[in-house]
Structure 1
C-alpha cells in the first residue's frame, strides 16, 4: 500500500514566500490486493500478484490550500472507480470523470475557510483495488462580499420586476460572477443581466426579460457564488444565494402629467382613474418620466425635504407611500395639495392624490408593477441604478450592459 502524494499549492496572497512545503500524506484507511494465483497440485504456496495500487494525487492540498479553484483528483497507474468530496457540513461536491477515468474535477470551486474530506476508490492496472481518505483546508477569506437580493422568496410580483443584486464591495470580476447567476423560468423567458452603479454607489446587476414578464411565470434564481473571488478590493463570496417568485397579473400604471391623472390598467382594461398632481415644473421639483417600477409599499413614513435637496420646505408624515425611485419619488396621499388634483402639477416631485384614492390604489397595486409617466412637466428618465429604470433602455441597449456580451 502506498500513500497518496499531494502537491503543495502556494496561496498567491501570502505575504511570506515559502520555498518548499512538506505536507502530510493523505491517510490510507483500507485496501485490497489483486487476485492471487493458486497451485495446480493442491499444495500451499501458490504465487500472488505483484500489482500495486494506483497512486492518487489531490489538489488543492494541505492546511493552507488556495480557495477558488476546482478540486482535482488524479490517478496514476490505474483508474478512479469513485470519488467523493464533502465540505465541513457534509455536503458533497459534484464532479466529472475524464473519459479514461483517470481525472476527476469538481463542478464547484473550493470555498474559503473550508475543510474538505476526500475519499477515493481506485483500480490499478494490474488489478489491485484501493480506498483512501484524506482532507485539506482552504485559507479563510480576508474580506467577504455579501449581497442584497430582490425580490424575496415565495413572493408574487408585477410584470416589471427585475432580479436585482446589490453588492457590499466592488466587483471587478463581473464576467466571472455573472457566469454563476442562473435564472430558470416555467416558460423559457429570454432575459439578460445588466451591470450598473446602484444609487448607493455600490456595484449592482439586474436581470430583466426582453419584454414584460408574462403573468403566471414562475422564476427561480440559483446564484452559486460560494468560492468565487469578486476581485481586488471586493473579497470572496462564501455562500450561495437563491430566490423563487411568481409573476402576478398584467398591471400597468399610466401617469399622464399633462392631463394630471393616473390610470390603473389590468389585463388591458381600465380599473380606475385618479386625478393627481405631479412635480412642480421648475429646476428642482419636476417628476421623473419614463418607466419606473413600484419598489416597495411603505405605508406611513416621514418625508423630509432636506433628504432630497430641497432644504427645509417640508417635514410630513405621509400615508400610503409607494416608492418609485431611490432618490425619493413616490406615489402617495397628499391631502394638503387637494386643490391641485387634476388641475396643476404642484408637488415636490411625487405623484400626489387624495387620501381616499390613495387607500384604494395602494391595495390594488403590487410591487413590481410598472409606472409609465408622460408629460411636458418632467425632467427626463431616472438613470440606471436609481430604482428600477431598466425598462427605459431598449433590449439591444440593455444587453450591452452584460459583462458577457
Structure 2
C-alpha cells in the first residue's frame, strides 16, 4: 500500500520499543501537520475488488508471515484498502509500520486436519455432519424451529449449535450485511422469506426494531440453543471470521441473551490483533453489541477507539458507524478518557459533516 514520506520524526524503532501496554494503532505515516494539502494514501475502489478480498482472506487465514520478536504480518479489511499491519503476540502491540530492521520473513502454511495445529483456516470446519440436523438447509431448519417442531424431526440442541458454528465457519464474508446472513442464520426467524403471508410485513418489522423486547425475543431460538452455542464458540473463536463472529454475537443481543463468559472471550480474541480486519459496519456493530448488553471490557473499547482514529477508517466513517462507535466507547469509559479525546472530537466532527452533506443532497434534489 501507499505510504507517506513524512513520519513526523517518529521511527518504527521508537514506536516498537514503547511500553507493552501502549497500543499502536495509529501509524506515523500521516499527512504532514505543517502541510494542510498533504493527501492520504489512495483508497480501494468500490470498497474492495475481488482480487483484494482474495488476498485479504488468504493472507489472514491460510498464511502466517512470522517475523522475529513475535511480530505477525496481517492485512486490514479491503473496504478501505489492503494495507498490511503488524501484530505482536508477545506484547499485544499493533503498528502500521514495518518493524525496525525488517528481518527475514518465513511463511507458515496451515496444514488442514492435524490436531497439533494451533491455528485454523477460515472457510473450513471439522464437524462430522452426520445426523438429522445436517439433512436440512438453513431455511428449512429455520421453518422447523420457528414452528416448534425441532423435537419431531430429531433435531438435538447440541447438534443445532454445531450446525450454527459450521455455517459461520465455512463462509468467508466481504462485509457485515444482513441480506447475506439471513440465509445462513437459521436461529433468527425473521427475514424476507420468514414473514407470515397473512400478516402485514411492515408490522413484523416494527415489532423487531421496536422497544418491545418480548416481541424481538420470539424471533430467535430458545435459551438452550444459545447456551450450547456458547460452549462451542468459546473453544472455536479462532476458526470463525471476525465479521461472522460479530453477527453471531448480534443474535445474542437482539434475543436479550447475556452470556458474560462468551462476551469476555470474544473481546479477548479480537484484542489479539484482529480489529483492523473488521469492516466499518462490523466494528460499529460489535461495539454496539457490548454497550447494548452493558458489558465492560476496557481494553477492547480502548483498542477500538484507536482503530477509529486511524486515518483510513476515520475518513470512511458514515454517520451510523460513528454513532455506534462513539456511543459505545463513551458508555464503557464513563469518563473523558485522554487517550480517546482525539477520537471523540473527530467522530463528532464527521457526524456533523455527514449530516450537512445529507441536508445538502436533499435540498439539491427537491430544489428547496
The question of a shared fold, defined as TM-score above 0.5 by the shorter chain, is answered with: no
More strand by share: 1
- Per chain length, whose mean CA-contact separation is higher, i.e. which structure has more relative contact order (CA < 8 Å, sep 6+)? 2
Q: Which has the larger radius of gyration?
A: 1
More helix by share: 2
**TM-score of the pair, normalised by structure 2:** 0.19
**TM-score of the pair, normalised by structure 1:** 0.18
